[in-house]
Structure 1
Amino acid sequence: MKLWRKISRGVAISTLICAIPAGVVRAEVPYFQHSVVSGFLPPMESRLPKNPLVVTPGKDQVIGQYGGKLKTLVGSPSDVKLMFVNGYARLVGYTEDFEIKPDILASLDVTDGRTFVMKLRQGHKWSDGHPFTSEDFRYWWEDIANNPKLFPAGPPAELLVNGELPKVEFPDPLTVIYSWSVPNPNFLANLASAAPLLIYRPSHYLKTHHIDYIDRSKLSPKQKIKLKSWAANHNRLDNLYKFDNPELPTLQPWRNTTPAPANRFVGKRNPYFHRVDPNGQQLPYIDELIYTVSEGKLIPAKAASGDTDLQARGLRLQDATFLKENETRSNYKVLLWETARGSHFTLYPNLNSQDPTWRKLMRDVRFRRALSLAINREEINDILFFGLAVEGNNAVQKQSPFYTEDLRTKWATFDIDKANSLLDEMGLTTRNNDGTRMMPNGEPLVIVIETAGEETEQSDILELINESWEQIGIEVFTKPSQRAVFRNRIFSGETVMSVWSGFEDGLPTAQSSPADRAPTSQTSYQWPKWGQYFETKGKSGEPVDLPEAQQLFDLYKRWLVTTDDDEKAEIWREMLNIHVDQQFTIGVIGAILQPIVVSNKLRNVPREGIYNWDPGAQFGIYHPDLFWFED
C-alpha cells in the first residue's frame, strides 16, 4: 500500500486533467434546471471553475447518470459529519492507491519539503456562489487561528515543526504559500485526512460574526450586549467539519440542509461543486443524501430490510451471514472490504488517570503485560469472528513493510501462568473470598472499562475477556456512555480504561507519519493529558513523565526533521517495538472484514476496497460523487 512518498526538491504536483472531448456541450443538471430557468442559479458553465477537476471513473466504475436520493443509517446526530468525511473534497486527497494529489487545489508546488505553493482554481465558488479565494485562507490564519479569543492556544499544533509555526503568504487571490525553515512531512497528510486540517473558511459568511468586522455603530444596545459573547457564537457557527450548520457554505459535493438536533438529515447537491466527469457532467451524480438516525443495534435489521442504499456504519462481520440471507428479498448485495487498522478492538489503559492508585497500576508495565497475556484471543476470534480475524497486538498488518511476527505476538499470547506471576511480582498477592486480587488501597481489583455504547460487539468481547481475567484475579465492569461523555471522561482522567479501535494506519511506510504513536494528541486514549499538553503548547494537560513515552516523542521529533528514508524506516521500527514491548495499548484482534450493503440499483461502488478512516475516509477515496442510480 503506497502512502505519500518523500517530498523532493522542486516537485510540482498538478492535478491529472482528462481532456473533455471537443464539441461536448455540458447539459444542465436536471436537479437545477428550474432554478436556472427562474434565474435563481446561473447556468452550469458559470457555476464551475474555469479549470474543473475532471474525475475519471476507477476500477468497477463507469460514466453515470443524474438523479436519485441515497439513503443511509447513522448511529447519532453527530454522524451528520460523515457527509463531509465521505464527500472527501480536500485541498489535496488520497487516490485509491493512497498517493496524494491536488483536489480542491488546481496545483501544488513543493520545494525541499518545506515550502508549499498552493494554486486555487479560477472561478471556484462556495456552495452559496461566493468566490473561493486566498482571502478565505488569510481570514482563517490571521483572524481565527491567531486570534486568542477563538484559538486560545494559538494555531493548531499540527502546524508546528520543532516549535516553529509556518510563514504564511497570500500574494494574489489564487495563491497561498505555507513555508517552514525545515521540512514538514506531515503537512499534506494532515490536509488529506478524513478529519483534515482546515486552513480556510468561508470568510464572507463568518466575517459577519467576527468582532473585527462588525460595525458597532449600527448595533442596538441589546446587540452590543450580545457582542460580548461573539467568540463563542463564531465558534458555534464555524463547523466546516461537524457539518451541522446548514448556513455555513461548503466545498463538499453535498451540503447539509438540516439544522441540529434532528433525526433525519438531508444533504442536497452543491451547485458549485468543482468536479466533472470526462463527459463534462458536473458531479455529484446523486441529487440528495438522506441520513437517518437509528439505534445502533437495529441497523443490521434495517439494512437487511432494504431501508438503506449504502451501509457500512453499524454493520459487523458477525452480521454478514444474516445480511447475505436477505440479499434477494431486499434487492441488495453484500461486499466484504478489508480493513487497515492496527487492531479492530483495543484496550486503552489510562496512564493519566486521576486516581493515584490506578495511575500507579496502569503505569507499571508488568500490569499491562499481565492483562494482555490473560486475554484468550483465539477464543474471541473463533466465537465472534468465525476464526477469520488476526489475533495479536495493536501494531501493523501484514501488508506493511514493517510487519514482523514479533510485533503481532509479543506479550499477546495466552499465558495465564506468566500473567499471574507478573501480578504476584508486583505484590498483588492478597485475594478476597471471591478470588479477586486486592489493590494496595484495600479495594478489590475491579477494572471499570468504559465504552461509547455504540457496539454490542464490544460488550461481547469484554465478556470473554472478563472470563479469562477472572483466572488472574481481576474482574471487569463495563460502563457504556454516549460518545461525547465517554471522550470527555477520558480527557479529564476520570476513566481507568477504555475501549476503542486501534491505530488507524495499520499499513504504514517510512513516509507515513508516526504522530499517533507518540503522545501528540488527547484523542490517544492511553495518554490524553500528555496529548493535551502537546496540542496546547503546555497550556493544559500534563508534561510527559514516563521515560518510554518520552522516548517515543523524541523519536517522532527525529522523524520530522530527517529526510533520509532509511532513517525514517528505522525510527518507525523502533517506535513499533517500544509499543508492543510496553503494551501502552492492548490489541486483541485485527484485519476484520467490513460488510458493505449496496443496493442493486446503486452503481460505481467498487466490489473490492479498503474500508478505513484515515487514510481512506471510509468511502471517500472511491469518490461517492461518482456513485449513481440506474433508472
Structure 2
Amino acid sequence: MSVDRTGLPQEAPGRERAAAEGGLSRRSLVTGLTAAALLRPAAPQAAPEAGAATRLPETPLVVDLAARGRRRGTAGGSIRTLIARARDVRYLSVYGYTRLVGYDADLVLRPDVLERCDEEGGRFTFRLRKGHCWSDGHPFTTEDFRYYWEDVANEPELSPGGPPDFFLVDAKPPRVEILDDITIRYLWERPNPRFLPALAAPRDPLIYRPAHYLRPYHPRHAGREAAEAAAKAQKLRGWAALHNRLDDNYELTNPDCPTLQAWRPRTPSPATRFVFERNPSYHRVDRDGTQLPYLDGILMDVTASGLLTPKTNAGEADLMFRGLSMSDIPSLKEGERAHGYRTLLWPIARGSEIALYPNLTTLDAGWRALNRDLRYRRALSLAIDRRTLNNTLLFGLGTEGNDTVVAESPLFAPELRTLHAVYDPEEAVRLLDAAGLDRRDAAGIRLMADGRPVEVVVESDGEAAMILDGLLLITEFWREVGIRLVVKPQERTNLRRRSLAGMTVMVAAQGLDLAVATAIMPPTGLSPAQPDHYAWPRWSLNVESRGRSGEPCDVAAVQRLIALNEEWNGTDDAGRQGEIWREMLRNHAENQWVIGTVAGALQPVVAADRLANLPERALFSWEPTAMIGVQRLDEVFWDRPADRRAEAK
C-alpha cells in the first residue's frame, strides 16, 4: 500500500460527504431545523490512520471533492498573487477561511476545525479533534479557549469593552465550562442564535488563542514585572501592546505566532514579498488521504494599487481577484492567451451596487422632515432610470430595482426587487407635488417649505468609481423632476464621523452586503441594530450604546425593525427566523429606507490556466462567502507538475 506525503494510506476509504463534513441540505435552513441539527455529523467513522511523521488529528476532516464536482489534486507548488499594501496580507485569513464552524459553497453551516458542535437552546458543546495541533506542533486543546476567555476577552487591558457582543444575551455573558482537553461548553439562559454565525464570519473572531505561545507575555502567568520587562525590551509602552503584537492570527505578520490556517506566514513585516508555507498540522484531508492544502506556498507581492490590473494582465499573478473590478474585464480578457490565464466572472452577491441613504436622523430640521416623508423617498426612487444605469455601468447584465437579497437567497421574493423601484417620472412628479414641493425657482428646482431649493448634497467615500459614475447619471434623472443633486466625496473615516454627528443629508454607498442570506444568518443591515448605518446613524448609535448616546428611534416602521431584530436574536427556530427576515425585507421595500438602483456586478477572478478546482461560476461577497473563502482555496492545485511555480526564497 503506497503512502503519500502525509503518511496516510492512499487507498484508505473516505467518508461520504454528509458524514465527513456534517450538516444537512440548504433546504433545512428554512424548514425549521436548528443549527444543532445542521452541525451534528451523521455518524462517527474511523479516520485514516496517520503515520508517525504526520501531525494530523486522529479524526481529520475528510472532504469529498467528487461530491462537489472537483478532482483529487496533486500536492506541491506555489501561487503568486498581488496586494496593494503590506497589511493586506491579512486577507489571506479571510479567503483561506479556516473556522471552528463555517459555511460550505451551498451556505450550509458545518463543523470545520471542530469535530462536532451540539446546540440545545442556549447550550453549545464543542468537541475538538483529538490530536489536532497548532502549526508549531503544540496540541490544540480547550486550554486555548480558556486562555482567550479568561486572559483576553475578560482582561480589561486587552479588551477594555469586554467580550464581543455576540457573546452577550440580555447583556450577560455565558457560563463557560471546560469539560476535558477536547470538550468545552458555553451556556446562556436562553438561545443565542448569533453565536455560530459569528464564528463563521469573514473575519474570524478567534475565540481561542495559542496559550502556550502567549502565556510568557501575560502578567497573570509570567508575572507583571517579567511581562513589562519583555515589552520594554521591544520598546513598547506596556505588556498589552506586546501581547497584541504577538497575538497575530488575523494580521498574519508575525511568523512566530502558531496558526490553524492552511498556510502559515514566513515573512516578518515590513516586506515587499510575503511568503506563506503550508501548515503541516492542517486538519483537512481528501478521501484518498492526502493532507490539504495541496499548494505548498502562497507568495504575495506588494505593488501600487494602480498597477494591480496591468500586472495581472501581464501574467504576474496566478490567482487574483481583490483589487480588480468589472471595468477591468476587457483589459484582463486581452491578456489571457498571451499570458496563460483565464478570467472567471463571478456574480457579486450585493443588494445594490449603488444605494442612496436619506439620513432620517440628520440634524437639519427641514431635511429631516423631507427625508422622513415616504412620498419624497418613493419619488426619488421612481425618478431613477435604472435601465440606463444598468446599460452604462454593468453592460446591461445587472438586475434593476431595490436594495434587497439576491435571487440565490432562499429568502428572495421577486416582487420586492421592483416594488416602487421602476422608472416612472410622472408618478415621481405627482408624489413630489403631494409632499409639498410644488413650488419651483426660476431654474425649475423645487423649493422646500422654508424656501430653500431642494439641492440634495449626496456624500460618498469616493473609493468606488462606479458609485461616482452612477451619481452623475442620477443627477440628470433627478433634475428632470426638479431635484438638484450635488456630489460631495469624502474620506471614509470623515464620512462616518459626519454621519454619526447628524451632518449628512444623504449618502451614496454600496447596498446590502449580506444579500445571499439564509434564515439562520443575523439580519445585518436591516435595522438600527447595525452600527454606522447611513439611513439612521443616530438611531444606530443609540441602540449600540444602549441609550447612552445618539437618539431613540421615533418612527413606528423603524421601531418595528428594531423589535423584529430583537425577536430574531431571541429565537433559534429557523422557521420563525425566516419569517422575521421576510417581514424586514418587505418593510424595507415598502418604505424605501435605502434607495437601491442596480445589482449584479461581476467580479473578475483571474486564475492561471492550469490552476484547478476553482469553479467557473460562484457567488462573490464579503459576507457570507468570505470572498472566495467558501470555495476552499486549500483544494486548489496545479493540474500538472510543469505548471508549478518555484518557491521564492
Verify same fold: TM over 0.5.
yes
* Matched residue count: 611
Residue 21 of structure 1 and its aligned partner are, at CA, apart by 6.5
Please tell me whether the aligned partners of residues 80 and 291 of structure 1 are also in contact (alpha carbons under 8 angstroms).
yes
Does residue 1:331 correspond to 2:346, yes or no?
Answer: no
Which residue of the partner structure matches residue 283 of structure 1? 292
Map of 1:48 onto structure 2:
56
Provide the C-alpha distance between the structure 2 equivalents of 1:357 and 1:243, rounded to a whole number of angstroms. Answer: 49
Q: 2:585 is matched with which residue: 576, 581, 586? A: 576
Deviations 1:221-265 (A, max 9, x none): 994998875445545554533445544432211233455566544
Q: Name the counterpart of 1:601.
A: 610
State the match for 2:472 in structure 1. Answer: 463
Tell me, in whole angstroms, the C-alpha distance in 1 between the residues paired with 2:244 and 2:450. Answer: 44
Q: Return the match for 1:393 from 392, 402, 407.
A: 402
Structure-2 residue corresponding to 1:274: 283
Instruction: Summarize deviations over 1:413-454 as a string: whole Å, max 9, x none.
Output: 123333344444444456555544456677654444444444
Q: Which residue pairs with 1:123 in the alignment?
A: 131
Deviation at residue 533 of structure 1 after TM alignment: 4.1
Equivalent position amino acid for 2:415 in 1: D
Mapping of residues 310-459 of structure 1, within 5 Å: 310-353=319-362, 358-428=367-437, 434-437=443-446, 445-459=454-468
Secondary structure of 2:566's counterpart equals: helix
**What's 1:204 paired with?**
212
TM-score, normalised by the number of residues in structure 1: 0.86
**Contact 1:67-1:287 within 8 A present in 2 as well:** yes
Shift of 1:150: 3.5
Find the aligned partners of 1:67 and 1:206 in 2 and give their Cα distance. Answer: 32
Q: Which residue of 2 aligns with 1:29?
A: none
**Inter-partner Cα distance in structure 2 for 1:589 and 1:524:** 20
State the AA in 2 paired with 1:89. T
SS in structure 2 opposite 1:137?
Answer: helix
Give 1:326 deviation, angstroms.
2.8
Q: Could you tell me how far apart the structure 2 residues matched to 1:475 and 1:234 are?
A: 53
Change (3 A) 1:273 1:341: same
Alpha-carbon offset, residue 627 of structure 1: 0.9
Q: Contact (CA 8 Å) 1:3, 1:98: kept in 2 or not?
A: no
Partner of 2:167: 159
The one-letter code matched in structure 2 to 1:135 is: E
Contact 1:48/1:124 (CA < 8 Å) preserved in 2? yes
Q: For residues 75 and 613 of structure 2, what CA distance do their matches in structure 1 show?
A: 13
- Whether contact under 8 Å (1:297, 1:314) holds in the other structure is no
Tell me which of 572, 587, 591 is aligned to 2:596. 587
Q: Which amino acid aligns with 2:406?
A: Q
Aligned partner of 2:18 in structure 1 is none
| Greater alpha carbon shift after TM alignment, 179-188 vs 9-18 | 9-18
Q: CA deviation at 1:127?
A: 2.8
What secondary structure, in the 3-state scheme, does the structure 2 residue paired with 1:109 have? strand
Query: CA, structure 1 residues 441+558, in 2 after alignment: closer, same or farther (shift >3 Å)?
Result: same
- 1:81 matches 2:108: no
**CA separation of 1:77 and 1:12: change in aligned 2, threshold 3 A:** closer
Residue 548 of structure 1 aligns with which residue? 557
Q: 1:486 to 1:345 in 2, by over 3 A?
A: same
User: In structure 2, what is the equivalent of residue 38 of structure 1?
Assistant: none
Residues 163-189 of structure 1 show CA distances to partners (whole Å, capped at 9, x for unaligned) of: 443222112221111122222223222
8 Å CA contact 1:392, 1:588 repeated in 2: yes
- In the aligned structure 2, how far is the partner of 1:526 from the partner of 1:287? 46
Matched, 1:7 2:41: no
Deviates more, 1:447-456 or 1:215-224: 215-224
Normalising by structure 2, report the TM-score: 0.83
Aligned to 1:30: none
Residue in 2 aligned with 1:104?
Answer: 113
Equivalent residues in 2 for 1:184-263 (5 A)? Answer: 184-218=192-226, 223=232, 229-231=238-240, 234-235=243-244, 238-259=247-268
Counterpart Cα distance in 1 of 2:175 and 2:542: 24
User: Which ranges in structure 1 are unaligned for 5 or more consecutive residues?
Assistant: 27-42
Task: Name 1:299's counterpart in structure 2.
Answer: 308
Conservation of the 8 A alpha-carbon contact between 1:533 and 1:540: yes
CA 1:335/1:16 → structure 2, altered by over 3 Å: closer, same or farther? farther
Partner residue of 2:21? none
Task: Give the CA deviation at 1:103.
Answer: 0.7
Shift of residue 491, structure 1, vs aligned partner: 5.0
Kindly state the Cα deviation for residue 67 of structure 1 after the two structures are TM-superposed.
2.9
Distance 1:15 1:622, change over 3 A: farther
1:36 matched residue in structure 2:
none
Q: Give the counterpart letter for 1:152 in structure 2.
A: P
Deviation at 1:376, TM superposition (A): 1.2
Q: Which amino acid aligns with 2:72?
A: I
Q: Which moved more, 1:298-307 or 1:134-143?
A: 298-307
1:620 has 2:629 as partner = yes
- Separation in 1, partners of 2:84, 2:418: 34
Q: Distance in 2 between matches of 1:383 and 1:458?
A: 12
| Contact 2:383/2:428 (8 A) holds in 1 | yes
What is the CA–CA distance in structure 1 between the aligned matches of 2:253 and 2:538, rounded to whole Å? 28
Correspondent of 1:558 among 540, 545, 567: 567
Letter in structure 2 aligned against 1:613: W
In 1: Cα distance, 2:359 partner to 2:272 partner:
34
Q: Are the structure 2 counterparts of residues 281 and 161 from structure 1 closer, same or farther at C-alpha, using a change threshold of 3 Å?
A: same
Look up the SS of the partner of 1:314 in the other structure: coil
- For 1:128 and 1:553, the matched residues in 2 are separated by 46
SS at match of 2:198: helix
Are the equivalent residues in 2 in contact too, given 1:429–1:437 (CA < 8 A)? yes
User: What is the CA-CA distance between 1:332 and the residue it aligns to?
Assistant: 1.0
Amino acid aligned to 2:183: T
Distance of 2:368 and 2:242 partners within structure 1: 38
> Percent identity among equivalent residues?
43
How many angstroms apart in 2 are the aligned matches of 1:117 and 1:537?
A: 30
State whether residues 38 and 110 of structure 2, in contact with CA within 8 Å, keep that contact through their aligned partners in structure 1. no
Q: Deviations over 1:504-552 (max 9, x none)?
A: 3334344443243222221434334444444454455544343222211
Q: What secondary structure does 1:13 align onto?
A: coil
